[in-house]
Structure 1
């Protein structure tokens, strides 16, 4: 859409939510305007759409409206497969967007967004932003745009915490950071706050697992030199942080913590009766293991 705006600042952009789609909406939004202006129509969450949407897309396909760019965003799954197959058979351009899940990819995304805007952020600020809003790339991009618009110069941790501090405090990675550091009291306090504000236990356990995997990878590779560490696919600041954190960990403690988090992962995904108790127990076990 930004490219469309660059090409024509007056282009009409319409977004449709597939989940609330009604029959005929596509025809209405793609119909020529009074002054024949170009249009961009984006349908989000096609996989959640009703049969009416799929029927309208297939009816539209043989004769698309001139001057209209129709973007269909499908989040995966089998729903709408017949329509997707019809689009592919018609050689409609398809862009595959792999999910960005790792911290390294999110960090790279933030840095690219800021670079495109002609701005920079220090490593701590990038990490804080990823911790706060990194679960959704659109939200992460919007956060970058806000920081660019509302700050000047190098973006530091202070600016990120000013805008997103409350969210940072409630993220799974803050819980994980405290547990990895062996600060059981802080970890549990952050955990209870996160749960009280609606954070699900599953991403908290995932954050613990991610942190421990990073420690395990760096710990197993550090004796092989900097070249091997660079091949891990981690950002330099992640490697540096892991090396610092490993000073309080033994291989036995790390193995115990990984086992505790693996057990909690199964419990919060249905094998246990109380997901919140399971994640709190895992946090305490990780904190204790860091001193073993």
Structure 2
């Protein structure tokens, strides 16, 4: 199926997509439901610019063997979606994907008070591939689906603590109500956050055939590169779903890493099955802290 020819009514359904059950988590009313580096001494220093490797096929790039990568300790990675207060019509399941504003602020404060230091995808890649040292208590904050509140609420709150994150953008949503505009995505990039690809319209990667790779990966990646003026090398699978056939397609299109959710990493290509956990709207800062410790 070639999604570029979706009729308007189907395109509207796109905005109900999300990491696992977006058929319940987004919409115009968003009703239910990816620079400074802090060093080990707590100071902030300029980080290496993200996304400066040449675009194109990186399948021949030298990487460490899978056994070496899998042997390295996993870095905790959190996945956020909507950041807003719950509404009466939000379903119980949707609230896993909707973080009340006060809860999100508590999460960020807990991370800062606990001594966590945010890292970005190229730092993670260099650590997994080359063993490059990371700051003490590293953590990665990722945000899926281009929700506007990630720009208006999450980014300012993160700034208070010197945190940087990764925003995985589905390009069909750009400029739509309750989603970020191109200028806002550019602003996030200029602030030192990293912009990653999250496809054009959140279709399941496991179903791609032929031209779908152009529609869902190549064109959105080019769009994001035009917006940010930077190369895009990191990808998040819609719904966290992937298959082995997707990995060479992503490599051919310049991706250095890809992010799933909490399922097991691939034993052959762990850089393309990097684990994340969804930060649930039900989680207090204490629950989040325990989940970080127990999940990675």
TM-score by structure 2 length?
0.26
Q: Which has the higher strand share?
A: 2
Using CA pairs under 8 Å that are at least 6 residues apart, name the structure with larger relative contact order, 1 or 2: 2
Larger radius of gyration: 1
